[in-house]
Amino acid sequence: MAEMTANGYELAANRKPIRPGLILTWTVLLVGGLLMITPLLYMFSTSLKSAGQVYDLRLIPLAPSFDNYVKVLSDGRFMRWFLNSALVATTVTLSNVFFDSLVGYTLAKFEFRGRYFIFLAILSTLMIPTEMLVIPWYLMSSQLGWLDSYWGIMFPGMMTAFGTFLMKQFFETVPDDFLEAARIDGLNEFEIWWKVAMPLVMPAISALAIFTFLGNWTAFFWPLIVTTSKELYTLPVGLSSFAVEQSIQWELIMTGAALATIPTLLVFLVLQRFIVRGVMLAGLKG
Amino acid sequence: MATIELQGLVKAYNKTTAVHGIDLTINDGEFVVFVGPSGCGKSTTLRMIAGLEDITAGTLSIAGAVVNDMAPKQRNIAMVFQNYAIYPHMSVGKNIGFGLYTSKLSATEKGQRILETAKILGLEDLLDRRPSELSGGQRQRVAIGRAMVRDPVAFLFDEPLSNLDAQLRAQMRIEIKRLHQRLGTTIVYVTHDQIEAMTMADKIVVMRDGRILQVGTPTDLYENPVDVFTARFIGSPSMNLLTGEIAGGKLSVNQTVAAGLDATAFAEGPISVGVRPHDLLVGAPTHAGFEIAGTVTAVEPLGSETLVHLDIAGAEAIATAPGKLLPRVGSTVSATAQPGALYLFDAQTEQALGRL
């Protein structure tokens, strides 16, 4: 008994006092977290409600059912838009990973005249807002016959200044010894980039892939402008048409939105471990 | 296996010249160590041999063929880097096998070669591990394995041991030396550590400011350095340098005349006198050589011997005493050197004049 009491005192003595700053931090984080998660919860909640219950704001539906999911998934248009979005986002992501890395690597690891100027030129395009670019993109698509086509949706994002900048900065952290060792082992410059440098910047590639995929999966403005036929709509454009066509069917829009989050979650789950894992320095003595 | 010849090799970066036209022949199977302080051009020379730096002027031949314009892979040389440069995303086996990237061997033959190499280096149980799971010494061995596996004409080592702790460095020194004896392949090795140079080399190349100062065997360099720089660079602790004078055929240092030494062969006037710490003895019986008194400023007992730091009229010097003798700091002791232990250098040009 005495021992227990002693332990009790010890525990109480070891417990850190709760600082007011900490309470404030947690409160701010909690409020922020709730603000973030509430729309998501309502999205899932509404997707389980019938049309009549949509404006009933309780979080847990009275009679939850998956009818909306069945309705949306059996509607051919939804699947088409879903696949369009998947195709566009995947292609643009792969293209960015390939070209941004290639240009970033070249700018980071090769000495040539005009290298700095080229980098600045690429970087300066970051200062031009998308809204300003839409008209030239549209004119270009129109003149080249790319309007209302997959290529038309994808071409502006196939390579980005941000991605190039991100990859260049990461490739600069790859020690030259790795590349020189590969050069001596007989790899050509393309192989060195692909087989040695790229695996060493996996965290950056993953980050770039997640950003690009999310950006393109949720892209609305440009796909809306460039597409006219419904078969070419991407998911956000298609879902918005639910709201315009008939009276707004919130339960269907929310079901579509809930389904639309699945691929982004998957991409994040698959790639996040590469971001967390820092493999770079394991082969070098720091 | 091949002879490597450097003729008038120059490396210039814009306005700076890193290597000023060096000439050197590295014989087949020789272990040559380039040694010198940072920025002396030793690594640049090695990188030119590897093909990682363009050659500004001069010719570089490997096995009789000029290779100035050949890519690294065409030179069939292998290189081990200071930072190991083993690929963290590949297993040990794959890392070693990477050396065979361009080889036309079948997968089975490659596997055999990797295993043989791993066995030589004691890595056979680690083939599936990632570099992050290895110790520093094991990583260095993997880097050597990748170089060894393809049977190159020469190995180039760029300060391979400088990241290891002292104990491991000593162990790896012996391992690399054994490897050389076993394989008999030409090795060009760059280090700033003169102990590595002395213990491993068949031939040492001392460089300074992009020029070769002296080429010779370790004993050659130790016994007959061409100038003060080489004399002080080779040997540990460094050679002591005292200011002296030759007058009337006798050498005097700090007003003490070395009566027993005949210096008539040397020109009269001021002179620099070098004596190695292991030749300058405290507590040894006096003899007809050189004797000088100094104040003890510090004592370093090493067990088998004691290093005694002396102040000889303002100049610092290190002498050696037997292990059990520990002179008191502040006391005045007499240090002696045998005839022939003194190295004389021109006071102005610092060039060697001979031994006394």
Q: A95-133: per-residue pLDDT in tens?
A: 999 999 999 999 999 999 999 999 999 999 989 988 889
Q: For helices B107-120 and B136-148, give the axis angle rounded to 10 degrees.
A: 130
B50 in contact with A, Cβ within 8 Å: yes
Shared domain check, B186 and B52: yes
DSSP category for residue A192: I
Tell if the CB–CB gap between B87 and A177 is shorter than 8 Å: no
Q: Max Cα separation, chain A?
A: 89
Q: Which of A184, A199, A282 sits opposite B132 (nearest CB)?
A: A282
Residue A279 has pLDDT above 50, yes or no: no
Residue B179 has pLDDT above 70, yes or no: yes
pLDDT at residue B346 in the model: 93
Report the DSSP pairing between strands B77-80 and B203-208.
unpaired
Residue B271 has pLDDT above 90, yes or no: yes
Average pLDDT, rounded, for chain B:
91
Domains of chain A, each with CATH number or no CATH:
11-65 (no CATH), 74-280 (1.10.3720.10)
Q: For helices A250-276 and A76-109, give the axis angle rounded to 10 degrees.
A: 30
Q: Identify the burial level of B209 via C-beta atoms within 10 angstroms of its C-beta, where 0-12 means exposed, 13-18 middle and 19 or more buried.
A: middle
Q: How far is A184 from chain B (nearest CA, A)?
A: 5
Residue A200 has pLDDT above 80, yes or no: yes
B51 in contact with A, Cβ within 8 Å: yes
pLDDT at residue B256 in the model: 81
B216 in contact with A, Cβ within 8 Å: no
Say how far apart CA A39 and CA A45 lie, in whole Å: 10
- What tens digit of pLDDT does each residue of B297-311 get? 999 999 999 999 999
What is this structure's pTM?
A: 0.79
The order of strands in the sheet holding B250-253 is B256-257, B250-253, B240-247, B269-275, B342-346, B352-355
Tell if the CB–CB gap between B88 and A283 is shorter than 8 Å: yes
**B149: nearest CA partner in chain A:** A185
Number of domains into which chain B is organized = 2
The amino acid at B138: Q
Which residues of chain A approach chain B closer than 8 Å at the C-beta?
175, 177-178, 180-187, 196, 199-200, 202, 279-285
- Kindly state whether residue B235 falls inside one of the protein's structural domains: no
3-state helix/strand/coil string of A1-21: CHHHHHHHHHHHHHCCCCCHH
Tell if the CB–CB gap between B88 and A175 is shorter than 8 Å: no
- What tens digit of pLDDT does each residue of B211-223 get? 999 999 999 999 9
- Kindly state whether residue B267 falls inside one of the protein's structural domains: yes
Q: Identify the burial level of B78 via C-beta atoms within 10 angstroms of its C-beta, where 0-12 means exposed, 13-18 middle and 19 or more buried.
A: buried
Shared domain check, B81 and B137: yes
pLDDT at residue A2 in the model: 41
- Kindly state whether residue B328 falls inside one of the protein's structural domains: yes
The mean pLDDT value for B71-85 works out to 90
Tell if the CB–CB gap between B85 and A177 is shorter than 8 Å: yes
Shared domain check, B124 and B93: yes
Report the DSSP pairing between strands B154-158 and B16-26.
unpaired
3-state helix, strand, coil in chain B (%, to 5): 25, 35, 40
pLDDT at residue B199 in the model: 92
Question: pLDDT confidence of B356, banded at 50, 70, 90?
Answer: confident
Shared domain check, B100 and B65: yes
**B81: nearest CA partner in chain A:** A177
Q: Which chain A residues are Cβ-neighbours of B101 within 8 angstroms?
A: 185-187
Q: Which of B195, B226, B257 is the last residue of a domain?
A: B226
Q: Which of A185, A202, A279 sits opposite B99 (nearest CB)?
A: A185
pLDDT at residue A283 in the model: 46
Judge contact between B154 and B166, C-beta under 8 A: no
Using alpha carbons, select from B272, B191, B267 the residue that is nearest to residue B231: B272
Write the CA distances from B262 to B273, B290, B351, integer angstroms: 14, 11, 20
Shared domain check, B269 and B120: no
A–B interface: beta-carbon pairs under 8 A? 79
pLDDT at residue A5 in the model: 45
Tell if the CB–CB gap between A181 and B81 is shorter than 8 Å: yes
Straight-line distance from the first to the last Cα atom of chain A, in angstroms, rounded to the nearest whole number: 54
Question: What number of CA atoms fall less than 13 Å from residue B39's CA on the CB side?
Answer: 3
Q: Which chain B residues are Cβ-neighbours of A282 within 8 angstroms?
A: 88, 130-132
Judge contact between B45 and B36, C-beta under 8 A: no
Say how far apart CA B140 and CA B192 lie, in whole Å: 18
Q: Max Cα separation, chain B?
A: 78
CATH number, domain at B72?
Answer: 3.40.50.300
Q: Which of A196, A199, A285 sits opposite B136 (nearest CB)?
A: A285
Domain that residue B285 falls in: 240-355
Q: Report helix, strand or coil for B195.
A: helix
- What tens digit of pLDDT does each residue of B120-135 get? 888 989 999 999 899 8
pLDDT at residue A8 in the model: 45
pLDDT at residue B201 in the model: 95
Shared domain check, B152 and B55: yes
Mutate to test the interface with B, among A183, A185, A205 (most CBs of B within 10 A): A185
- Kindly state whether residue B332 falls inside one of the protein's structural domains: yes
Shared domain check, B319 and B247: yes
The order of strands in the sheet holding B4-13 is B16-26, B4-13, B57-62, B65-66
Tell if the CB–CB gap between A186 and B102 is shorter than 8 Å: yes
Q: Which of A180, A184, A280 sits opposite B88 (nearest CB)?
A: A280
- Kindly state whether residue B231 falls inside one of the protein's structural domains: no
Q: How far is B273 from chain A (nearest CA, A)?
A: 42
ipTM value, please give it: 0.82
Q: Which of B226, B260, B284 is the last residue of a domain?
A: B226
Dump the DSSP string for B100-155: TTT----HHHHHHHHHHHHHHTT-GGGTTS-GGGS-HHHHHHHHHHHHHTT--SEE
